[in-house]
Amino acid sequence: MAKYASLVTREVKAPTAELPLERRTFFKLFWRQLRRSPLAMISLFVLLLLYAMMLAAPLITQYVGYDPYQVYVGGRNEGPSAKHWFGTDHLGRDLFSRVVWGSRISLTIGLLAASVTVLVGALLGAIAGYFGGSLDNLIMRFTDVVLNFPFLFFAITIVTVIGPSFWNIVWAIGFLSWPGIARIVRGNILSLREREFILAARAMGAGAGRIIFQHLLPNTMAPIIVNATLTVAGAILAEAGLSYLGLGVQPPTPSWGNILLDGKPYLASNIWYTLFPGLFIFITVLCINFLGDGLRDALDPRLSTQG
């Protein structure tokens, strides 16, 4: 008996001792793969710059010396100059500092909405996939229903009904985006749960929560990461679209979308007003998409041959 006990403890100990090492090699391997794609690395670098700009917005505008809300007398709808790098808007506010501050809305809503999407989607997908049966059926039917909603129409309806504010936009985008991830996670877990290591975990007395969070979800990380990245891109575009329709964060708070809305009447007289905020949306989303593509190749080499 004592002999067996020591055998069992040794066997149980061995994998737990190796676990951190395994994890590190997964990320190392993944990082090595990602570094091979110059496009993904450049995109990552640009995105880090953009997020640094977002965090440092107060410092940047202080350095430039223009407040995003203050009206500067003397120049309305001016083109770019040494004074106002991106020119001024129709009220005479400095467009550069407005675009820099606008990143706070666009970039954080993108991240937060994607977080809501991933949390809800992964959780519901994992529950549906692990428990199966009628619970699975119920969750997946509801997923189908939400998947059938035309995104922009529902986003507009929800935001009109509950009011356009920062968090309401996050909830609206999150509520409409989770089904994609739920489906992917469920599909992965359906096949994973039949594997031996899950049987082993169950034999050792692990509960459903432990199996889902410790064993199943970590093994579906690859598709979740890729999808989360693309969700950030989608959320930024959706927020910009809603803001452009006047349903985003309300002025005078700048966001890239509502600067574009404000600038539309002055398209003929001041193209810079439209050019710069849109360019920031475009570059951000482009970099996220490139990064997502690189992540997909790095995490799943099988897919890379198929483009």
Partner 1 sequence: MIQYIIRRTLVLIPTLFVTTMVIFLIVQLAPGDPLEIFVSPEVKLTPEEKARIRHQLGLDRPLYEQYARWVTDFFVGNMGTSFNYKVPVWDLIKTRLWPTVQLMGLSLLLALLVAIPAGVLSALRQYSWLDNTVTALAFFGISMPNFWLGLLMIFLFSVYLGWLPTSGMISPGGGGLLDRLAHLIMPVFVLSTGFIAGFSRYMRSQMLEVMHEEYVYTARAKGLKESIVIFKHILRNALLPVVTLLGLSLPIFVSGALITEQVFGWPGLGQFFWQAATQRDYPVIMAILTLAAILTLLGNFLADLAYGLVDPRIRYD
**Longest Cα pair distance anywhere in the chain, in angstroms?**
91
What is the C-alpha to C-alpha distance for residues 150 and 148, in angstroms, rounded to an integer? Answer: 6
Q: Is 46 in the site for partner 1 (CB under 8 A)?
A: no
How far is Cα 123 from Cα 139, in angstroms, rounded to an integer? Answer: 11
Judged by CB under 8 A, the residue of 154, 187, 202, 223 near partner 1 is 154
Q: What's the CA gap between 96 and 88, in Å, rounded?
A: 8
Cα 209 to chain centroid distance, Å, stands at 25
Name the H helices within 36-94: 38-55, 57-64
The one segment of 18-26, 27-35, 149-157, 218-226 that binds partner 1 by CB under 8 A: 149-157
Collapsing DSSP to helix, strand or coil, 106 comes out as helix
Q: Please report how close the Cβ of residue 207 comes to partner 1 at its closest, in angstroms.
A: 31
Q: Is the Cα torsion angle 22, 27, 28, 29 positive or negative in sign?
A: positive
Q: Going residue by residue from 259 to 278, which x/- string records binding to partner 1, judged by CB under 8 A?
A: -x---x--xx--x--xx--x
Please give the angle made by the CA atoms of 22, 192 and 148, to the nearest 5 degrees.
120
For partner 1, which is the closer residue by CB, 198 or 248? 248
For residue 65, the tally of other CB atoms under 10 A from its CB is 9
Residue 16 in contact with partner 1, rule: CB under 8 A: no
Please, what is the minimum distance in Å from the beta carbon of residue 304 to partner 1? 11
Question: Which of 3, 10, 141, 302 contacts partner 1 by CB under 8 A?
Answer: 141
- Of 156, 221, 222, 225, the one binding partner 1 (CB under 8 A) is 156
Among the listed residues 72, 131, 149, 166, the single contact to partner 1 using CB under 8 A: 149
Residues at the contact surface with partner 1, assessed by CB under 8 A: 141-142, 144-146, 148-150, 152-154, 156-158, 160-163, 233, 237, 240-241, 244-247, 260, 264, 267-268, 271, 274-275, 278, 281-282, 285-286, 288-290, 293, 305-307
